[in-house]
Structures are given as C-alpha cells and as structure tokens.
C-alpha cells in the first residue's frame, strides 16, 4: 500500500461475492495479528472488502504481539512510539487505497473505517481529517480529548464503550455519548458490564463474550443501514 513515505503491508479479505463496499480495520496496540485478521474476516462475512494496514511499519514492520499480560507491557511501549498524526495519515491513505481497489471501485467505491482501542481513536481521527463513508470506534481512549474537533465529522459514526473500563473513565465515555446525542448521524453505546477491549477474543484478560456480541450486533445493524452491501 503506497504512502508519501514508502509502502506498507496491509491484510485484505474479500467477501464471498468478490466485491463490495470497503472497510479499513485499524489495529489495537498489539498490531495486525490474529484478532485483527479475524475482525476483517467478520466484516468480509457481512459482505465488505476489509483492509487492515500495518500502522507500526515505521517502528518495526509486521509487529504482532501476544494478547497476554506478558506482552501487554511491550505493546504499551511500542504504541507510545507511534506518531498518531502519521498513523491517521496512513489510515487515510489506506482508505484511499481501498476505494481504488477494483473490488471496491466496481461496487460503487464507498468505504468506511472501523477501529479497536488504539484503532478506535485513529478511526475518529480519520473521520475528522478525511471523508470516510462511515466510522466505527470501539473504546478509543483518545476520543474524549478530541471532541473539540468533532464538528468536522460529516459521516455516520458509531462509538462503543465499556461502562467498567479501567482505562476510560465512565465520565469520559458519557461525554462522548453526550457529544454524539447532540449531532445527527452519530450514535454512542455503553455496555454497562464491560471493561476495556471487551471484543478481543484473543485476550482472556479482556474478552467478555456477552457485551462483545451485543456491541457487534449494533455494529452489524449500523453498517447495514449506513453502508449497505
């Protein structure tokens, strides 16, 4: 995938039909590993062309860390080296690349962005800085501090948070929901019993299947309504 600074790798999954609208899948702090690839598979199962760019490529291409406590500290250290403004730019480049793929272009050229954790914050940044057709942001810790730029968002946007998230205070999640409630096309959902990264089935310390299933059903319905296949 081309960027102004060089090429980076991206994992692409096609739907059974071979074409459809596109969704850029933005990674957690662990990199593009099995969990992000499975999320791309899920989206392809809904009929989307999914593309997950390696946003750590400037640090160390291909990083895919384990999702246990032993690797969590390393993941935090790697993520702290990430220039988030450049990561947003790379994500915008990924969106443009995805729209240009024949499998997406031939289906109308529409594409959105969906991110988890770090990727949730970056997805919000893409919605601010660019023109995705939709944005889905799972528990992005940086989102509350970016609300002052949120008026620039012009696409339908969905936010997910856990009501018991130790990394994102409930007051911060509520502030994002209040922001969403005040604007047309934005939705915010809090799973009261969920902590952080509750969708990540690769991580026993985070995964919570019931809130994950509820949130995914909301995501599926939102995408079907705002980016129909």
User: Which structural domains are found in the chain, ordered by start?
Assistant: 2-226 (3.40.50.1820)
Pick the catalytic residue from 90, 93, 165, 199.
Answer: 165
Six token digits for residue 215: 């949130």
Pick the catalytic residue from 155, 160, 188, 196.
Answer: 196
Is 90 exceeded by the pLDDT of residue 51? yes
- Give the model confidence (pLDDT) of 176-185 as tens digits: 999 999 999 9
Looking at the chain, list the stretches that DSSP marks H as alpha helix, in order from N- to C-terminal side. Answer: 34-45, 69-80, 84-100, 102-105, 118-129, 170-181, 209-226
Six token digits for residue 61: 């291409």
- Strands of the 22-26 sheet, one edge to the other: 10-13, 49-53, 22-26, 111-116, 135-138, 157-162, 186-191
- What integer is the mean pLDDT of 47-76? 94
For position 109, what pLDDT does the model report? 97
Can you say whether the dihedral through the CA atoms of 19, 20, 23, 27 is positive or negative? negative
- Give the model confidence (pLDDT) of 126-148 as tens digits: 999 999 999 999 999 999 999 99
- What integer is the mean pLDDT of 195-217? 97
- What integer is the mean pLDDT of 59-65? 94
Six token digits for residue 101: 């793929």
- Give the model confidence (pLDDT) of 8-48 as tens digits: 999 999 999 999 999 999 999 999 999 999 999 999 999 99
For position 70, what pLDDT does the model report? 83
DSSP string, 166-188: SSS-HHHHHHHHHHHHTSTTEEE
Question: What is the band of 69 on the pLDDT scale with cuts at 50, 70, 90?
Answer: confident
Pick the catalytic residue from 67, 90, 117, 133.
Answer: 117
Is 90 exceeded by the pLDDT of residue 68? no
Neighbours of 212 (CB within 10 A): 20
Catalytic residue list contains 165 = yes
Average pLDDT score over the chain? 97
For position 157, what pLDDT does the model report? 98
Catalytic residue list contains 177 = no
Is 90 exceeded by the pLDDT of residue 215? yes
Question: CA 61, CA 34: separation in Å to the nearest integer?
Answer: 16
Sequence-distant (6+) residues with CB within 8 A of 8 are: 1, 53, 54, 55, 57, 61, 90
Check residue 3 and report its DSSP letter: E
Please state, in angstroms and as integers, the Cα–Cα distance from residue 143 to each residue in 18, 36, 125, 127, 154, following that order: 34, 20, 8, 11, 16
Neighbours of 6 (CB within 10 A): 9
């Amino acid at each position: 995938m081309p960027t102004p600074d060089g090429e980076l790798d991206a994992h692409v999954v096609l739907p059974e039909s071979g074409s459809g609208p596109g969704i850029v899948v933005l990674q957690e702090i662990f990199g593009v590993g099995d969990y992000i690839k499975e999320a791309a598979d899920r989206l392809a199962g809904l009929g989307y062309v999914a593309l997950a760019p390696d946003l750590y490529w400037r640090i160390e291409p291909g990083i895919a860390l384990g999702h246990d406590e032993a690797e969590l500290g390393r993941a935090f250290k790697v993520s702290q080296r990430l220039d988030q403004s450049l990561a947003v730019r790379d994500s915008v480049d990924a969106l443009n690349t995805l729209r240009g793929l024949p499998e997406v272009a031939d289906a109308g050229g529409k594409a959105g962005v969906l991110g988890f954790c770090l990727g949730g914050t970056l997805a919000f940044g893409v919605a601010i800085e660019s023109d995705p057709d939709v944005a889905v942001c799972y528990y992005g810790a940086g989102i509350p501090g970016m609300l002052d730029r949120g008026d620039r968002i012009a696409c339908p946007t969905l936010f997910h948070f856990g009501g018991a998230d130790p990394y994102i205070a409930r007051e911060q999640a509520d502030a994002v929901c209040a922001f969403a409630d005040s604007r047309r096309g934005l939705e915010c959902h809090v799973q009261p019993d969920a902590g952080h990264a509750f969708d990540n089935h690769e991580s026993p310390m985070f995964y919570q299947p019931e809130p994950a299933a509820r949130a995914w059903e909301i995501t599926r319905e939102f995408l079907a309504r705002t980016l129909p296949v």
